[in-house]
Structure 1
Amino acid sequence: MMTDYETDYLIIGAGAVGLAFADTLLDQTSATITIIDRHGKPGGHWNDAYSFVALHQPSAFYGVNSMPLGTGQKDTHGVNKGLYELASGPEVSGYFDAVMRQKLLPSGRVSYFPMSDYKGGGKFVSLLSGEESSIAVNRKTVDATYYGTTVPSTHKPRFDVADGTRLVPPNALPHLWMRPDEIPSKFVIVGAGKTAMDVGVWLLSSGARPEDIHWIMPRDSWLLNRLRTQPGMEFFDATIGGQAAMMEIFATASSLDEIFERLEQAGVMLRIYSDQKPEMFHYATISQGEVDLLRHITQVIRMGRVQAIDDAGITMDGGHVPMDGDTLYIDCTASAVEHRPAVPIFQGDTIIPQLVRAPQPAFSAALIAYVEANYDSDAEKNKLCQTVPFPHQIEGYIPCNMANMANQFQWMQDKKLGQWIRASRLDGFGKVIAAVTPDDTEKQALLLKFRNNAMGAMMNLQKLAAGG
């Protein structure tokens, strides 16, 4: 059968995962690569995100392995003051466009088809012309869309919205100035994830009064303290010290609740409202400054999920909450990671990138590409790349960390892979640890504490996972 195109690897999706995979594969092989994506520009969901979105974690840990993101500076003001910069949404979009234009396409081995929908079976369709094309894949197809990331502007709310009700995605907020006569008297944040937190910070930082904001929060969240995720030797005590404390807690805690409580006491975990017991953990990462600001929002509605919104107010699982007619509802209910089962990453002629280190999708994709390029059988590759199940409830935190630790152990047994990880800009802490000199007794003590508790941590987590 005649085909229109031919390639060694076909990557579906030009978001962070697809581009990080392509970048490393390009450096590790002589293969040809074709990338198909529905968006008009690289970057996946970043093209659809609200303008004030930013990375949760430092820019140093995100993007593709071969090209740095950001300037490596610390923020000097705002809720992230004193910590390393967080690339904004527009910065990330521009970065991924540069990756495509300056790295991938100039190689002569990458083809890119934007505004195209992959139909399976080597067929894709232009969304503009409707023309169908076929492509022969010599080696493997890489499905970089498995997690099904959505953002508020591209998803349909799972509750009824009456005609005339003002429900908007966060994207609309910075444009309220265009119609000053329609600026609402009240705001209602619908949702409890990181998007909702971003909206709360934006509203307060932009001048909204706390008493004019309601926050619908079906469940409170445990949050990672961004202080514990900083690159650079000056944060060694915060980052590696935090990891050492985590291992000790994992090794000695008698319950999941105790793990989170002690992690909070150690400054590894945060929660916005200290009188509430969180039931959710999605690896959202936040600064103490953001937490302090969000605590100004005291009108928090905890009555379950929204069933319907109309001009009289909100109908929820736990009853009805009246609201003023000119209230603006902000939909923050999209899921960054859909509930998908963890499946083997290497499946014959198909690769399904997933997390091999939570919560780092870019690092995971780059490592998977390295393993694909340098190892032989699927069994060997899957042993090095066991899928880490993303936690949705707090109960998922234990199996997630067990998988993280198991992968890390496998990687460190493989000298070649271990060297690649330490050299990877996406790894973050490997180079910091390697730079500790033997005579630095304080840092060596933290490293020793980490190592001494690692085995006990794994054994105790297994016991807790089994209900012991």
Structure 2
Amino acid sequence: MTEMETDYLIIGAGAVALAFADTLIEEDPDCHITLVDKHAKPGGHWNDAYGFVALHQPSATYGVNSQEFASEQVDDHGPNKGLHSLASGAEVLAYFEKVMNMRLLPSGRVVYHRLSEYRGKTESGESRVVGIFSGEETRIRVRRKTVDATFYQTSVPSTHTRSFSATDDINIVPPGELPNLWRNPASLPQHYVVLGAGKTAMDTVIWLIQAGVSADSISWVRPRESWLWNREHVQPGEDFFEAVMEMQIATLEAAHEAAERGADSAEMMRILGAKDYFLRIDPQVEPEMFHYAIISRGEIEILRQVKNIIRHGRVTALSPGALHFDGDEVSVPEDSLFIDCTASAVPFSVNDNAGPIFRGDTIVLQPMQIPLVVLSAALAAFMEANFEDDEARNALSAPGPLTDKPSTFAYAQMINTMNRGLWSQNPSIMGFLAKSRLDLTTGTVVGLMAKESPKLAKLAQFRETAQRCMPALIKLGTQAKAVHEAG
């Protein structure tokens, strides 16, 4: 058994953990950090993701504050043309490995326990870390705080447990197996059945079509339709500033309009959808889901090529030539390849560990700006290093809910807007955000102010709209909070 000491023990080494560590060593030059993670490399769930996975938000607003992605240009081709590039999964993993090996470890103030598991505390209060392969135990005395970076419990297709049964003779794979089909071209499937309605399923359908599979050879089980963020309105930089502000203004006005009608948060999303701030694959079907996925119009057009959409709820079982649902059955070609995209990336429910972010000797990293989880983690590290006590920190960092339905959307928007309003009154936080590559707008505003740009008229319009419409957003958000907490 080995014994050691550290100031901060961070459980996890994924994006959230690394964003926190990166900011903390910058803001607190005397602290020592230890990271513990089960994976062989930094990057968390990215290690387990399917090979063709990519970011759906711009690379320029992902990762850690100190390190840009190698390629952060605007795409000039493909379905993302005209928008900031999206790093592939391989690029994301390489990025995080660089952050660890060229930023954190060389500082001399970071220790990284890979392939290790946190096993709680001993009776004397030491943290137990056990090597997965070696079985060797390290006991760590944490001088300051334990940082829980596992709140999001991210699941991917290759590691999740299926919620349906399948007979032994069913050909079913996770999406990560698709790029390996070329190895046996003589036995390529003649039909593909995609199971799931989330972003993984969308990525899979796009990959199949771009790989040359006919859209007529794809059946897609979509139990629910989803609202999708139009990527045009979540772009960083001065060129996109007005489009970003237009969406923020429209969101507030939609809340006001929905409240005036006596409607709910779902109506707010319908209003935004009618103006193309949110998109949907099938314009004839009312979306029941919103998981914060971001998409381009080009990707939507590819997805609409698939016409064989199966809407019978969730699959309960698979058998040769058949999909089984509660009380229903749908036939498919017997040689179909089933692709399981039913893993939920984040458990969109009331998390048992939800609550204040700062809890004495523990920090539970949660979103202060949904869905900007890495910005939230970096900001939590800044607050830890620069504010005197948890009362002051928690007053500025209300954790946002991981809502999943249109009817609860306003709750998250209310928390986002209220937190931003508090930060705007705090010079130290605004100074941090102005320098943060992870923040979508603050640094851009500073640059525009230096130029006295006419684009700042949109910011003035936003402020006026916020003052006028905030009561309506709070009303809808409070109603949505009750819906969310009721499940």
Matched position secondary structure for 2:399: coil
Q: Percent identity at matched positions?
A: 47
Matched position secondary structure for 1:260: helix
From 390, 393, 397, the equivalent of 2:402 is: 390
Q: Which residue of 1 aligns with 2:202?
A: 197
Alpha-carbon offset, residue 433 of structure 1: 1.9
Distance in 2 of aligned mates of 1:205 and 1:383: 48
Answer whether contact 2:269 2:406 (CA < 8 A) is retained: no
Q: Which residue of 1 aligns with 2:483?
A: none
Matched position secondary structure for 1:112: strand
The within-5 A match list for 1:39-438 is 39-121=39-121, 122-254=127-259, 255=263, 256-317=265-326, 319-338=328-347, 339=349, 340-341=351-352, 342-437=354-449
1:440/1:371 CA distance change after superposition, 3 Å: closer
Distance in 1 of aligned mates of 2:447 and 2:276: 25
Equivalent AA in structure 2 for residue 269 of structure 1: F
Length-normalised TM-score, structure 1: 0.97
Matched position secondary structure for 1:410: helix
1:440/1:264 CA distance change after superposition, 3 Å: farther
Distance in 2 of aligned mates of 1:190 and 1:433: 43
Distance in 2 of aligned mates of 1:164 and 1:40: 33
What are the superposed Cα offsets for residues 434-454 of structure 1, whole Å, 9 maximum, x if unpaired?
Answer: 233599685233222211111
Aligned residue-pair number: 467
Distance in 1 of aligned mates of 2:177 and 2:4: 40
What are the superposed Cα offsets for residues 366-410 of structure 1, whole Å, 9 maximum, x if unpaired?
Answer: 000100111122111111111000111212201100000111111
Alpha-carbon offset, residue 72 of structure 1: 2.3
- Over 3 Å off, 4+ runs: 437-442, 465-468
- Between 1:181-190 and 1:234-243, the stretch displaced more is 234-243
Equivalent AA in structure 1 for residue 237 of structure 2: G
- Between 1:456-465 and 1:11-20, the stretch displaced more is 456-465
Equivalent AA in structure 1 for residue 222 of structure 2: M
Alpha-carbon offset, residue 217 of structure 1: 0.8
- Between 1:279-288 and 1:159-168, the stretch displaced more is 159-168
Alpha-carbon offset, residue 236 of structure 1: 2.3
RMSD: 1.6
Distance in 2 of aligned mates of 1:464 and 1:328: 44
Q: Which residue of 1 aligns with 2:460?
A: 448
- Tell whether 2:20 aligns with 1:21: yes
Alpha-carbon offset, residue 52 of structure 1: 0.9
Alpha-carbon offset, residue 467 of structure 1: 5.0
Equivalent AA in structure 2 for residue 303 of structure 1: H
Answer whether contact 1:46 1:89 (CA < 8 A) is retained: yes
Distance in 1 of aligned mates of 2:77 and 2:101: 33
Q: Give unmatched runs, 5+ long, in structure 1.
A: none
Equivalent AA in structure 2 for residue 82 of structure 1: G
1:445/1:318 CA distance change after superposition, 3 Å: farther
Distance in 1 of aligned mates of 2:310 and 2:327: 10
Answer whether contact 1:70 1:85 (CA < 8 A) is retained: no
Answer whether contact 2:197 2:221 (CA < 8 A) is retained: yes
Distance in 2 of aligned mates of 1:369 and 1:63: 14
Q: Which residue of 1 aligns with 2:124?
A: none
Alpha-carbon offset, residue 363 of structure 1: 0.4
Alpha-carbon offset, residue 318 of structure 1: 5.0
Matched position secondary structure for 1:215: strand
Alpha-carbon offset, residue 70 of structure 1: 3.4
Distance in 2 of aligned mates of 1:251 and 1:440: 31
Q: Which residue of 1 aligns with 2:485?
A: none
Distance in 1 of aligned mates of 2:474 and 2:248: 19
Distance in 2 of aligned mates of 1:440 and 1:124: 54
Matched position secondary structure for 1:436: helix
Answer whether contact 1:12 1:145 (CA < 8 A) is retained: yes
Length-normalised TM-score, structure 2: 0.93
Distance in 1 of aligned mates of 2:75 and 2:414: 34
What are the superposed Cα offsets for residues 279-324 of structure 1, whole Å, 9 maximum, x if unpaired?
Answer: 1001100000000110001111110111011213111135111222
Alpha-carbon offset, residue 247 of structure 1: 2.2
Alpha-carbon offset, residue 249 of structure 1: 2.0
Equivalent AA in structure 2 for residue 84 of structure 1: H
Distance in 2 of aligned mates of 1:237 and 1:402: 22
Alpha-carbon offset, residue 464 of structure 1: 2.5
Distance in 2 of aligned mates of 1:348 and 1:174: 47
Q: Which residue of 1 aligns with 2:9?
A: 10
- Between 1:456-465 and 1:289-298, the stretch displaced more is 456-465
Matched position secondary structure for 1:407: helix
Distance in 2 of aligned mates of 1:155 and 1:464: 35
Matched position secondary structure for 2:158: helix
Answer whether contact 1:70 1:87 (CA < 8 A) is retained: no
Equivalent AA in structure 2 for residue 108 of structure 1: G
Equivalent AA in structure 2 for residue 392 of structure 1: D
- Between 1:448-457 and 1:420-429, the stretch displaced more is 448-457
Distance in 1 of aligned mates of 2:171 and 2:149: 35
Equivalent AA in structure 2 for residue 273 of structure 1: D
Answer whether contact 1:148 1:337 (CA < 8 A) is retained: yes
1:253/1:77 CA distance change after superposition, 3 Å: same
